[in-house]
Amino acid sequence: MTTGKILGRKYIINGQPADLSAFTPDMSADLYYEVLRLIDGRFLFLKDHLDRFRNSLSGSGLDYPGDPVIRENLRLLQECNDFPVGNIRICLQKTGGTEPDILCYFVPYVYPGEYTYLTGVRMVSYSYERSNPGIKKWDNYFRVSVQDHIRKHGVYEAALMNNRGEITEGSRSNIFFIDPLNRLITPPLKDILPGITRKYVLQICMEEDIGVIERPVKRNELDELTSCFISGTSPKVLPVRKLDGFQFRVDHPLTKRIMARFESLLQNNLTDLRVAVRD
């Protein structure tokens, strides 16, 4: 059985605080999940995460617990651990009982530093294709193997490549390219996990009148593209300087423009559950 690491003093199971010393999450179980980011005690894009969680559970045979139940689990977790920042996994899994368990706990995180946003990160391709891209379900074999691949090559992230030689997404992020005509190119939604940060990047592009093309991107055409960045819960909008042997411009004005807009936008999409309960 492969286990996952967790942080803090307590975790929440089915709406009740429990001691971490007696708990090791079973990541091999049938598990549907979301990872939320806490910034200054407030949850980023909470509604979007809950909507995607509900969508992931549709057709699974498991009932969505409802927004109020999940919000209360998150609030209790904050109350028990008092962390102002971090990543939280909320998941629903069937572990042998008649009813699935709702689990909520802090997980380790690595946020890029200011210097990393200036210099960009390196990526390596990894051959893998999700069987159901639109569903956020834990795949333990994939998670272990792709992390081994990332560590082996000493890079920040892996770019998933399907059997047609197309770069689809990162192992825990979405990917964007900029062509010589200053258009954003990103793989189509049908091929990827619908990232929440990706959704807001596309919203920024619409508001800023930035051209976007959603199409497959072949690995062998990467040398024709000017710039690249990834988006996700932990990295937010992060420039890529190199993917395999392909170099990209890190300081592209379009990337910097989107990064600045995203930082402004996220401040208007933070939810304080403690205030909601008091009110």
Of the chain, the percentage scoring pLDDT greater than 70 comes to 95
Q: What pLDDT score does 3 carry?
A: 45
pTM confidence score: 0.92
Residue 279 has pLDDT above 60, yes or no: no
pLDDT digits (tens, 9 = 90+) for 2-44: 445 788 889 999 999 999 887 877 776 678 999 999 999 999 9
CATH number of 114-266: 3.20.10.10
The residue written with tokens 């890079």 in the block is: 155
Is residue 32 within 8 Å of residue 93, measured between CB atoms?
yes
pLDDT digits (tens, 9 = 90+) for 138-159: 888 899 999 999 999 999 999 9
Strands 236-243 and 42-44: unpaired
Alpha-helical runs (H) found in 67-214: 67-81, 114-119, 140-153, 196-207
Listed by start position, the domains of the chain span: 7-107, 114-266
* Mean predicted confidence (pLDDT) in 197-215: 97
The architecture (CATH level 2) of 7-107 comes to: 2-Layer Sandwich (3.30)
Six-digit token pair at 100? 């699935």
The residue written with tokens 């619409």 in the block is: 206
Closest to 258 measured CA to CA, from 243, 236, 241, 240: 236
Q: What pLDDT score does 4 carry?
A: 57
Closest to 173 measured CA to CA, from 157, 191, 155, 190: 157
